[in-house]
Chains A and B, each alone.
Chain A
Amino acid sequence: QQPVQSPQAVILREGEDAVINCSSSKALYSVHWYRQKHGEAPVFLMILLKGGEQKGHEKISASFNEKKQQSSLYLTASQLSYSGTYFCGTDMSGAGSYQLTFGKGTKLSVIP
């Protein structure tokens, strides 16, 4: 089953903060976050693993609550360049990057 992302869309003014959530009905081994700008390829942001290890973007932070089977992406002091659709990809099988199930995405629009 695909993870559920919330909100579906959000509009921010520059400098405001946002939180994007990703919830799964199944236990997760890892959560992967990507951003896709309109007409462009998805770009890697972060991977969060069971046990707390993370790898990814310096300016974006995220959390992974294994018990609640959810992850949150924190965007602080948003910039115009943060606009795009954010996807979480969940690993429910232990196959890591080889078998990700993606959510429908959260469309983030940052306005001046």
Chain B
Amino acid sequence: ETGVTQTPRHLVMGMTNKKSLKCEQHLGHNAMYWYKQSAKKPLELMFVYSLEERVENNSVPSRFSPECPNSSHLFLHLHTLQPEDSALYLCASSQAGGLYNEQFFGPGTRLTVL
């Protein structure tokens, strides 16, 4: 595997389910990001981890819970989601230690909440 991978690629869940999204980067980076991309809306930054510590949390509802066990893996745990949470969830990574490093994105998980 190369680059940034995300699983699953598609997920359909009910409002009472609990599921997790997984992201893995094979680039040797040490910063990882979760973004939400909805139709007709801009990319929204959700969480940032640098050196496995959370740097940024943009007032995301608590039904989204991130986890970064090491610099290569990032999870987004989901529970009691709402239909408006349906979107494409993108993971990205970059090299920390420089503020202006390009981000490498994964292909995303298309989430549908029924």
Partner of A2, one of B42, B99, B108: B42
Selecting from A11-19, A59-67, A70-78, A91-99, the interface stretch reads A91-99
Cβ contacts under 8 Å, A44 to chain B: 102-104
From residue B48, how far is it (CB to closest CB) to chain A in Å?
Answer: 5
Kindly state whether residue A86 has any CB partner on chain B within 8 Å.
Answer: no
Instruction: Scan B32-48; emit 1 where CB is below 8 A from any A CB, else 0.
Output: 00000000111111001
How many residue pairs bridge A and B at CB < 8 Å? Answer: 65
- Contact, CB under 8 Å: B99 / A98: yes
Name B102's closest neighbour in chain A (CB-CB).
Answer: A44
Kindly state whether residue B62 has any CB partner on chain A within 8 Å.
Answer: no
Contact of A41 with B106 at beta-carbon distance under 8 Å, contacts A2-B42, A89-B43, A99-B48 already known: yes
Give the residue among A42, A55, A87 with the most B Cβ atoms within 10 A. A42
Cβ contacts under 8 Å, A87 to chain B: 42-43
- Contact, CB under 8 Å: A43 / B105: yes
Count residues of chain B with CB under 8 A from any CB of chain A: 25
- Contact, CB under 8 Å: A99 / B108: no
Name B44's closest neighbour in chain A (CB-CB).
Answer: A102
Cβ contacts under 8 Å, B108 to chain A: 41
Interface size classification for chain A = 20 to 34
Kindly state whether residue B71 has any CB partner on chain A within 8 Å.
Answer: no
Kindly state whether residue B11 has any CB partner on chain A within 8 Å.
Answer: no
Complex CA–CA separation, A32 to B90 (angstroms): 17
Task: Give the interface of A toward B (CB within 8 A).
Answer: 2, 30, 32, 34, 40-44, 47, 49, 55-56, 87, 89, 91, 94-105
Task: Give the interface of B toward A (CB within 8 A).
Answer: 4, 31, 40-45, 48, 50, 55-56, 90, 94, 98-108
14 pairs from A and B in contact (CB 8 Å cutoff): A2-B42, A34-B103, A41-B4, A41-B108, A42-B43, A42-B105, A44-B103, A96-B100, A96-B101, A97-B100, A97-B101, A98-B50, A99-B56, A105-B42
